[in-house]
Amino acid sequence: MMIDLVYPPGCIACQAATGDPHGLCAACWSGIRFIERPFCERLGTPFQVDLGQPLISPAALADPPVFGRARAVAEYDGTASLLVHRLKYNDRLELARALGGMMVRAGADLLRETDVIVPVPLHRWRLWRRRFNQAMALAKTVSAESGVPCDPSLLARVNRTRRQVGLTKAQRQENLQGAFRVPPEAKARLKGRRALLVDDVLTTGSTANAAARALLRGGAATVDVLTFARVVREL
């Protein structure tokens, strides 16, 4: 198109010219540490050595998550952390299209076994202040590209918790006690369905565990987790 000759598409991270209006330039692409197999089948954290078979990490064996499996596009650093921050705090909603598309590919094995996508909800006061829920924006793209329906009404955030940034894992778990609930009117729609929780970042897993616990108590058959990025610690 003529407009692309005058105003060429820009990289979603640094605005440098690219051939794709919703893509990354070569430099920013190289700044993403993509998570690919071999990784822990439960936590989705990468292994340093490929032993040629599906494995569960020592961390998952020692402290099994409430959810079944987690997948993420990339490690939460470099370009990936920049993109998440811009989506979350800079009102860059157009980024959800690109990040969500990458999530569909990273979570393909989960999506094949998913009945319904559930974005991690914000409390109504935080939603009012931020004006949008980044998890919902990502979930809409994942749903549109995968064909799996999205139902944000299946899970509600009923407690106004303090921000998780800077809290230890134990503090995060305490902070999220009773934070999520499946509304009574949603239980019939959730019962027996395989749910996929969608969020922007998986850090300690406290939010994912709390939300998954609420969904399972509300009648979900299984709960998996898909995020754009995740914090990775040495296994």
If you write DSSP's letter for every residue of the chain in order, what string do you get?
A: -HHHHHS--B-TTT--B-SSTT---HHHHHT--B--SSBBTTT-PBPSS--SS-B--HHHHHS--SSS-EEEEEESSHHHHHHHHHHHHS--TTHHHHHHHHHHHHTHHHHTT-SEEEEPPPPHHHHHHHSS-HHHHHHHHHHHHH---B-GGG-EE-S-PPP-TT--HHHHHHHTTT-EE--GGGHHHHTT-EEEEEEEEESSSHHHHHHHHHHHHTT-SEEEEEEEEE-----
* pLDDT over 90 at 170, yes or no: no
- For residues 32-57, average pLDDT: 89
Confidence of residue 122 (pLDDT cuts 50, 70, 90): confident
Among residues of the chain, what percentage have pLDDT more than 90?
62
Confidence of residue 1 (pLDDT cuts 50, 70, 90): very low
* pLDDT over 80 at 69, yes or no: yes
pLDDT for position 129: 66
Confidence of residue 15 (pLDDT cuts 50, 70, 90): confident
Q: What is the pTM of this model?
A: 0.88
All structural domains of the chain, each given as residue ranges with its CATH number in brackets, are 1-30 (no CATH), 39-230 (3.40.50)
Confidence of residue 167 (pLDDT cuts 50, 70, 90): low
Q: What is the pLDDT of residues 182-205, one digit of tens each?
A: 999 999 999 999 999 999 999 989
* pLDDT over 90 at 16, yes or no: no
- Average model confidence (pLDDT) across the chain: 87
